[in-house]
Copies of this chain bind each other. A is one copy, B any other.
Amino acid sequence: MKGIRLLIVGSEVTNGFTLDKNTNFFARELYKNGFTVLESRIIRDNVSSILNALSDYSLTGDFIIMSGGLGPTDDDLAVDVLAEFTGSRAVIHEASEHRVRDFFAKRASHTRTSAGFSLDRALRQARIVEGCEVLHNPVGLAPAMFFPSIPLVSLPGFPREIEGIWPQVLQAIEQSMAEKTETTEVSLWAISESGLSASMQVPSELEFGVHALPFGTRLFLRASNNDRSILHSFGQSILDRFPGHTAENPLLEFIEYLKKTGRTMTTAESCTGGLGAKLLTDIPGVSAVYPGSIVAYANSVKENLLGVSAATLDTFGAVSHQTAKEMARGALSVTGGQISISITGIAGPDGGSDEKPVGTVYIGIADSREEHAMAGKFFFPFGRDIFRNASIHTAFLALYQKYVYYNGNLDSWLHSDFGKNFTFQE
């Protein structure tokens, strides 16, 4: 089967100023759509480097996706190099020229400065290689180009522009490549890679790959001989095996529940220190269901603001089942939220003990209507960053399972694989 080869052009990447995310975007999208990326080359803005890579690649007959080199500066060489490579010439694309001129006319009416921009330079972006198929760029000024006979598409380097053009690129690939492979993906929250391996036997007709989630595993499946029925029946068996663990995005589903029921939520974070609030407020429009929250890093804030009792802190410590429950209850009364999660644990590198080593975390849930609070203990001894991400996503999964998946059936949830971590009394 023919594959796809990527060519990322930009000295800002080889000099380390910019992290290349385009390879990953192309690779993910192409895998999902049933195509195989064989290679990605990241090279400098340099005529001979680009020509060398193009000759190497074109000998294979694979589909080439090139990104970068379509900007307005003298370093942007893609049009000229592709003209040379195809034995054609660079010409002005009229529709693009109009777009550039319109853009500059509008811009002039809104701002006084022209620092860093010039119409002459921008008009470089209206150039194409004569004879190419033009792909419309809905986000930026430079059009993309498709050369069916190589086959090759040339795209800008900016991720947002690539995303805008992407549907046309997929069409161009489908037009050029005979075969594609059936694929599917499943998110398995709170299921480790080894937990997954232990409970599944992947049929030999399927290839699989895994990727770590913040707390769980994402499973990628593809039918090596394109057998759609085995792919779908095995995918379904995984969904059946892990009920309540396979939501695409547990937090978003919980937010939808809140919107539908008119309820609100809040958080009381110690060790995750605002990460939960940050992830919540990443979601546009969350203000309708989320009034705000408390970061209670020090015991003084847990006690004075959240109302955790001094006796609890003395007897059980800040990292305990009791404190987690009292933090969750306190967050309800302080913020006016109706459902709350609390997180208190030891992120490290310091602060661990034999009884409560670094990586220990308690997650509390309180509900103003049900008038109860519960908490669960978890252990993520994988460094500060993974610890904090795993902790907050555990809390989000708990909210999703309790309120969405097991909604109205608390007892079933508290007896499920994951829900049984939570108890009213330790």
By a CB distance below 8 angstroms, the chain B residues around A198 are 115
Min CB gap A116→B, angstroms: 4
Cα A296 to Cα B89 in complex, Å, equals 58
Contact with A281, one of B210, B274, B286, B294 (Cβ below 8 angstroms): B274
Q: A99 CB to closest chain B CB, in angstroms? A: 21
Q: How far is the CB of A161 from chain B (nearest CB, A)?
A: 13
Is residue A197 within 8 Å, beta carbon to beta carbon, of the partner chain?
Answer: yes
Asked if A98 is at the interface (CB within 8 A of a chain B CB), the reply is no
**Dominant secondary structure of chain A at its interface with chain B:** mixed
Q: Which residues of B contact A26 (CB under 8 A)?
A: 16
Given contacts A278-B273, A300-B336, contact A12 B211 (CB under 8 A): yes
Please measure, in the bound complex, the distance between the C-alpha atom of A286 and the C-alpha atom of B271, giving whole angstroms.
11
Using Cβ atoms and an 8 Å threshold, which residues of chain B touch A32?
A: 16
Q: Is A297 a contact of B305 with CB atoms below 8 Å?
A: no
Is A277 in the interface zone, CB < 8 Å from B? Answer: yes
> Chain B: which residue is nearest A198 at the CB level?
B115
* CA of A336 to CA of B197, assembled, Å: 50
Whether A194 sits at the interface, judged by CB under 8 Å, is yes
- A97: chain B residues at CB < 8 Å are none
B278 with A278: CB separation less than 8 A? yes
Q: Tell me if A17 and B211 are in contact (CB < 8 A).
A: yes
* A222 nearest in chain B by CB position: B15
Verify A305–B334 contact, CB threshold 8 A. Answer: yes
Residue in contact with A284 in the complex, picked from B19, B37, B278, B349, CB distance below 8 Å: B349
Cβ–Cβ contact A20 & B14, under 8 A: no
- Using A275-B278, A295-B274 as known contacts, say yes or no to A14 and B42 having CB atoms under 8 A apart: no
What's the nearest-Cβ distance from chain B to residue A384, in Å?
7
**Is A106 an interface position by the 8 A CB rule?**
no
| CB < 8 Å neighbour of A273 from B23, B209, B280 | B280
1/0 contact trace for A21-32 toward B, CB 8 Å?
A: 101111111111
**Contact bitstring A375-415, B, C-beta under 8 A = 1, else 0:** 00000000010000000000000000000000000000000
A278 touches B287 (CB 8 A): no
Residue of A16, A27, A116, A211 ringed by the most chain B CB atoms within 10 A:
A16
Are A40 and B42 in touch, CB under 8 angstroms?
A: yes
Query: How many residues of A are counted as interface, with CB atoms below 8 angstroms from the partner's CB atoms?
Result: 81
Contact present for A220 and B17 (CB under 8 Å)? yes
Inter-chain contacts of A276 with B (CB < 8 A): 274
A108 within 8 A of B: no
Closest Cβ–Cβ distance, residue A205 to chain B (whole Å):
18
Contacts of A335 in B (CB 8 A): 301, 305
Within 8 Å by CB of A297, from B24, B43, B287, B300, lies B287
Check: A249 CB closer than 8 A to any chain B CB.
no
Q: Inside 8 A of A296's CB, which chain B residues have their CB? A: 292
Q: How far apart sit A100 and B149, CA to CA, in the bound complex (Å)? A: 53
Q: Are A40 and B14 in contact (CB under 8 A)?
A: yes
> Can you list, as one digit per residue, whether each of A275-312 has a CB less than 8 Å from chain B (1) or not (0)?
11110111011110011111111101100110000000
State whether the Cβ of A13 lies closer than 8 Å to any Cβ in chain B: yes
Q: What are 30 A-B interface contacts by the 8 Å CB criterion?
A: A11-B209, A12-B211, A13-B23, A13-B27, A14-B27, A15-B27, A15-B36, A15-B209, A17-B31, A17-B211, A17-B218, A20-B20, A39-B44, A56-B56, A115-B195, A271-B281, A273-B277, A274-B295, A275-B281, A281-B347, A282-B384, A284-B348, A284-B349, A287-B297, A292-B296, A292-B297, A292-B298, A292-B301, A301-B336, A305-B334
